[in-house]
Amino acid sequence: FSSLFHHCLSLYHPSISDSYERRNEGASRVIGTILGTIDKHSIEVTNCFSVPHNESEDEVAVDMEFAKNMYELHKRVSPTEVIVGWYATGFDITEHSVLIHEYYSREATNPIHLTVDTALQSGKMNIRAYVSAQMGVPGKTVGVMFTPLSVKYVYYDTERIGVDLLQRIRLATNRTKGLTSDLSQVGGAAARVQDMLATVLAYIEDVLSGKVTADNSVGRFLMDLVNKVPTISAEDFENMLNSNINDLLMVTYLSNLTQAQIALNEKLLLL
Amino acid sequence: MSTNQHGASGPAQYQKSNCFLVLSQVVLKIIKHYQEEGQGSEVVQGVLLGLVVDDRLEITNCFPFPQHTEDDADFDEVQYQMEMMRSLRHVNIDHLHVGWYQSTLYGSFVSRALLDSQFSYQHAIEESVVLIYDPIKTSQGSLSLKAYRLTPKLMEICKEKDFTPEGLKKANIGFEHMFEEVPIVIKNSHLINVLMWELEDKSTVSDKHELLNLSSSNHLEKSLQLLMDRVDDMSQEIVKYNTYSRNLSKQQQQKHQYLQRRQQENAQRQTRGEASLPEEDITKMFKPPQPPPRMDTLLIAGQINNYCQNVKEFTSQNLGKLFMAEALQGHN
């Protein structure tokens, strides 16, 4: 189990941040359960929910009833998800974590513990995963050590697109963005490709003028790129292009016609 | 609720929420729900939670509804909802029910079921909306999430359940006035911004250029197929309506003729000095034909409109892409 990694779908992270933002007064961190599926060597985390808890100097209380209930409810929707561990916001692992971890080891075999550094103690939001291991002298003092796991992010296609949109929102002022539609989307995508091409061109210029040493592998990629544009005779391409454009125009015309027809029908009925 | 009563006369007063804010986690949760549970089945649904801030509706969280399976005969949806909301309240998540979401394939969501659900939601909560998520369009490159609400006119009609042609004529409803779309704005909180910076560093998957894919005629074919089916349905409804109006006019004629004959006979009897025949109740004799309910026609018209819009959007995008391809070839 030492080479266990841990794919995690990025989408539940915003829920963790959200729960952190909504924590009770005086609570310094938030904990919750994470759900997912277990594969042979990796655990895939797909969902999470927060669990109310109280933490003070010497004791910690977790609302276990609540955790059980929520898990039942979630199981109704996605029956394949199981409890794979728990998360906590904050940078370090405290002694209380050990206790909470023990509780979760009753629920799941070898649970993982995730820390999300929402207080940005190290300047970034560090997301780490740990698994516990026994250590110490057997029979005498036994302790628990948390060993880190490697974390990888995996996305579905549609999720990737959602995350891209959120990335763009991050760059926008006011942190908001409406959803564009139609041609402006194609325009946006084309602009992005153009930017990338500009970067590549700048690099080529640098190599040509000797500022940067040429790299063979990059050169080969560039060859591939240029060869990707298929060489078709101009006439054939014209034909293909025209027939495609004709198809699209015909479909547009037909849909306009249909819309006019139903509008007319409506007006006639209301006479 | 009081604003709702002014609905028919002053649409300006109704527009309490002109746009609305959706937090990013809601978007991701909806996408995930469809991805995991929706493959192959019709629709996935869920509930939206949030609150009203100033004149905007903010959606801050959501949770999915389980599918209806056969072995869950005694499954209580309301109970599930109540429990979820209660639990979420414990962790300080906004538990106000503000709407619901549904996934759709190729834009075919205008149906009786949707109308009924949305009506019951909007009746209880004035601001509620339904978010329609189109996964096929999203996988083609751009997130397709739209928010709809029933217009006040349609709310009035649904309340009275008066779906006859006369009722609709009175309210002057066309299919364009059924749903109104509310523009959506997606917002990231600060922490999520930080998260996004993190993810950009860590994620290895490069930006997919699905949007610039030229080979999407499959989508077009399916959309057109659905459009054709709807148009067929529509023509059937129209035929029904035509037969009804023909029957009605025939009946009018028959009534007229009967009355005339009666009058003639009465006149003759009077000249002969006999008592005139009593005026029989003609309505009992000629039962008026049942006018067909117009609601289905309206829905179909709305659906056709929707398909046409989608097709047009799709073709305009494709035309742009084709011209781009031409430019590439030109410089080759």
As given in the structure block, the two tokens for residue B289 are 């034909």
More confident residue, B247 or A19: B247
Beta carbons of B292 and B246 less than 8 angstroms apart: no
Query: Cβ contacts of residue B74 below 8 Å, gap of 6+?
Result: none
- Which two tokens mark B40? 């192959």
Tell the residue number behind the tokens 């995996």, with chain if given: A154
Cβ–Cβ under 8 Å, residues A113 and A92: no
Average pLDDT over residues A152-176: 66
- B40 conformational bin, left if phi > 0, alpha if psi -120 to 50, beta if neither: left
**Chain B closest CA to A13's CA: distance in Å?**
8
Local confidence band at A13 (pLDDT 50, 70, 90 cut-offs): low
Main-chain dihedrals φ then ψ at residue B201, nearest 5 degrees: -65, -45
Integer CA distances (angstroms), B63 to A9, A118, B270, in order: 17, 24, 79
Cβ atoms < 10 Å from Cβ of A269: 18
* pLDDT attached to residue B61: 79
Residue of B20, B32, B305 best to disrupt the A interface, most CBs of A under 10 A: B32
| B248 close to A (CB below 8 A) | no
Give the closest residue to B144 by CA, choosing from B135, B153, B152: B135
A137-151, A196-210, A213-227: the lowest-pLDDT one: A137-151
Record: contact A170-B175, CB cut-off 8 A: no
Question: Edge-to-edge strands of the sheet including B184-187?
Answer: A176-178, B184-187, B20-23, B56-64, B45-53, B97-103, B129-133, B145-150, B179-182
pLDDT for residue A246 is more than 80: yes
Cβ pair B45, B65 in contact under 8 A:
yes
Residue B14: predicted pLDDT: 37
Backbone phi and psi for residue A121, each to the nearest 5 degrees, phi listed first: -65, -30
Would the pLDDT of A236 be above 60? yes
pLDDT score for A3: 44
Helix (H) or strand (E) holding A185: helix A183-208
Across the interface, do B322 and A20 touch by the CB < 8 Å criterion?
no
The predicted pLDDT at position B206 comes to 54
Q: How far apart are CA B285 and CA B279, in angstroms?
A: 12
Higher confidence at residue A100 or residue A238? A238
Question: Do residues A126 and A88 lie in contact, with contact meaning Cβ atoms separated by under 8 Å?
Answer: no
Residue B117 phi, psi dihedral angles, 5° rounding: -60, -50
Nearest residue to A79 via CA among B28, B74, B67: B67
* Cα–Cα distance for residue pair B219/B213, rounded to 1 Å: 12
How many angstroms separate the CA atoms of B116 and B122, rounded? 10
3 state DSSP class of A152: strand
In DSSP terms, B51 is beta-bridged to B58
Q: What is the pLDDT of residue B74?
A: 46
Q: Which of B132, B303, B315, B324 to mutate to test the interface with A (most CBs of A within 10 A)?
A: B315
Binary contact (A175, B189; C-beta < 8 A): yes
* Percent above pLDDT 70 for chain A: 68
Grade residue A122 by pLDDT with cuts at 50, 70 and 90. Answer: low
CA distance A266 to B238: 11
Quote the pLDDT of residue A188. 75
Pairing of strands B20-23, B184-187: parallel
CB atoms within 10 A of CB A30: 26
Number of other CB atoms surrounding residue B153 within 10 Å: 18
Angle, helix A13-21 to helix B190-202, in steps of 10 degrees: 150
User: Measured at the alpha carbon of residue A100, what is the angle toward residues A98 and A105, in degrees to the nearest 5?
Assistant: 90
What is the amino acid identity at position A16?
I
Which of A39, A35, A31, A32 has the alpha carbon at shortest distance from A47?
A: A35
Backbone angles phi, psi at B294, to 5 degrees: -90, -5
Distance CA B328, CA B322 (A): 10
B48 is written with which tokens? 């939206």
Determine whether the interchain pair B24/A166 forms a contact, defined as Cβ–Cβ distance below 8 Å: yes
CA distance A103 to A161: 37
Averaged confidence pLDDT in chain A: 74
Which of the four pLDDT bands, split at 50, 70 and 90, describes residue A235? confident
Contact B184 A178 (CB under 8 A): yes
Structure confidence at residue B284 (pLDDT):
66
Q: What is the pLDDT of residue B40?
A: 56
Residue A127 in 3-state DSSP? strand
Mean pLDDT of A23-48: 72
Q: Which of A127, A177, A234 faces B186 most closely, judged by CB atoms?
A: A177
Nearest to A36 by CA among A87, A103, A92: A87
Q: Say which residue the tokens 């513990």 belong to.
A: A113
Determine the pLDDT at residue A65.
79
**How would residue A178 be classed by pLDDT, with cut points 50, 70 and 90?**
low
Identify the residue with better confidence: B208 or A56. A56
Distances (CA, A) of A191 to A165, A228, B209, B300: 15, 19, 12, 39
| Chain B residues 270-309 with a CB less than 8 Å from chain A | 294, 301, 304-305, 307-308
- Which residues lie below 8 Å from residue B263, measured CB to CB, with a gap of 6+? none
Whether the complex's predicted ipTM surpasses the cut of 0.85:
no
A54 pLDDT above the threshold of 50: yes
- Under 8 Å between Cβ of A176 and A169: yes
Subunit contact B204:A124, Cβ cutoff 8 A: no
Partner A contacted by B207 (CB < 8 A):
yes
Q: Does B166 contact A at CB distance below 8 Å?
A: no
Q: Smallest Cβ distance to B37: which of A22, A77, A266?
A: A77
Length of chain A in terms of residues written? 271
Which candidate, A155, A157, A154, A158, places its Cα nearest to that of A42? A154
So what's the pLDDT on residue B5? Answer: 35
Looking at residue A194, the DSSP 8-state letter turns out to be H
Give per-10-residue mean pLDDT for chain B (332 aa): 33 48 76 69 74 76 68 60 76 75 76 78 77 75 76 76 63 72 75 69 58 70 81 82 83 84 84 71 68 75 82 81 78 55
Q: What is the pLDDT of residue B12?
A: 32
Residue B293: name the closest of B254, B222, B244, B230 by CA: B244
User: How many Å apart are CA B156 and CA B178, to the nearest integer?
Assistant: 11
Mean per-residue pLDDT, A92-111: 74
Read off the tokens for A47: 């969902």
B152 CB neighbour count, 10 Å cutoff: 23
